[in-house]
Chains A and B, each alone.
Chain A
């Protein structure tokens, strides 16, 4: 390590006077950071095997391409729904005109031949004097003014209704736009802005199609702001309906369990962990639930149960994110 004019924070305690309480905190935090354990030989063997398998295997589609494809598909569906509704209103408009004309008895502006019927034979026609101008076939009669007016009334009413109430496509478009904005803000570490978007979303769509996703995003925004109590309160709301309508109920339940555990409400947290571990969980959630239950059991004095969970965790995830802490826990329990 060559000399630098700036002293590392982790070497500053007792050597550099902190200029603020935060700087003092930073010195202390960095001073004795836990060193991550090195990868085992077995882990390196698995890495090499995995890299080799990927070299031989089919080329993977990057996640960005998959995301763009999904976005494009969602856009196409939204446009399709809008077009379908637009065509639907035009159909009603045409139907209104047709029915109004029928009510007035003046026929429709289409020839029977067009409609697929035979030309009616009207004996009175032969008695009529010849028309002064160019003759008009009987089937081509123009609707009366009243009929035309009635048709107009139907059309305008339909359009007024259509205009006053946004189509499903428009709603979906607006809804997904607000949600996308919230997710973008959250991803860019702007949780406060994401919460503003979600507030607008809730005001506009109280029972929107993405209400579940919005609720989960709100929880994440609170967590990002460090407002764990609010996040937990929101999750408690969702738990009242057993996380019904939430896109990833297991993840929501796990978050609640972890937050409950951190408020020392371990009995309730364990209930949630138990429910999760009974079902089939994806590996990332499974590991967190196992480790969480182990921590809660240890906190409640159930060292046997805690050791059993930690052993299961290590058997399933020997190099998982909590492996180091789990090993330390097992060692402590067996001492």
Chain B
């Protein structure tokens, strides 16, 4: 293959062990951010590495290794979320209740905020969700997110603008006005 067609051919020579050590924690972070609080991170990371191991011989270095790994992770998380839809794993979380216990602390409040963010993200389109997770939760730069999603920076800003609008629209629609959700932590301002 000509070098021009495969600019990241050096990365293609990496083996699974190198990916564990160089990108393992990044992949675990993506799984956790993309999946949200209700996912079994360990189980999903294992699924990602199984897919990476299967597909690594076919990685030709046309894209950055990180972009390729992100794509696999996003697919695994997306598939698992679809499957989880049937099982409803952790559908109704009780962190809110725990927060009302006498010994509630800031950790629980942060967990509650996280639950709320993902309650909205779970209602969003896959692409918008990915953009918000990478930009707003992982606090990556626009350039980094554009590279991971394999799009131009200008396109990324458009996607981010739409994703934010979608998030706010869902927030407005939810309003946290449902009787059960308005109790305890109160309506967010």
Contact = CB atoms under 8 A, between A and B. Distances in A.
Interface of A: 1-6, 8-11, 20-26, 28-30, 32-34, 36, 38-39, 43-44, 46-48, 50-51, 54-55, 63, 186-187, 189, 220, 223-224, 226-229, 232, 251, 255, 258-259, 261-264, 284, 288, 291-292, 295-296, 298-299, 319-322, 324-325, 328-329, 332-333, 335
A229 B180 contact: yes
Contacts of A3: 141
Closest 10 CB pairs of A and B: A34-B110, A258-B92, A228-B180, A36-B32, A332-B103, A4-B142, A295-B94, A22-B168, A226-B178, A298-B101
Interface in B157-171: 157, 160, 164, 167-168, 171
B169 to A, nearest CB: 8
A48 B28 CA distance: 13
A8 B95 CA distance: 26
A112 B82 CA distance: 65
Contacts of A4: 141-143
A39 to B, nearest CB: 5
A315 to B, nearest CB: 16
Contacts of B75: none
Contacts of B38: 321
Given A39-B42, A51-B46, A255-B88, A20 B168 contact: yes
Contacts of B122: 189
26 contacts: A4-B143, A22-B168, A23-B168, A24-B189, A25-B188, A28-B188, A30-B117, A30-B136, A33-B110, A38-B28, A47-B42, A50-B46, A51-B16, A63-B83, A224-B123, A227-B178, A258-B91, A284-B89, A288-B90, A292-B94, A319-B40, A319-B41, A321-B37, A328-B105, A328-B107, A332-B103
A255 B92 contact: yes
B139 A8 contact: yes
B100 A51 contact: no
Nearest to B139: A8
A39 B41 contact: yes
A319 B105 CA distance: 21
Given A25-B189, A299-B97, A32 B110 contact: yes
Contacts of A1: 139-141, 144
Interface of B: 16, 20, 24-25, 28-29, 32-33, 37-42, 45-46, 49-50, 53, 79, 82-83, 85, 87-98, 100-101, 103, 105, 107-108, 110-111, 113-114, 116-117, 122-123, 135-137, 139-144, 157, 160, 164, 167-168, 171-172, 174, 178-181, 183, 188-189
Contacts of A332: 103, 105
A308 to B, nearest CB: 15
Contacts of B168: 20, 22-23, 26
A43 B24 CA distance: 12
Main secondary structure on A side of the interface with B = helix
Contacts of B20: 44, 48
Contacts of A229: 178-180
B168 to A, nearest CB: 4
B62 to A, nearest CB: 24
Contact of A321 (B39, B79, B141, B144): B39
B180 A262 contact: yes
Contacts of B93: 258, 322
A32 B113 contact: yes
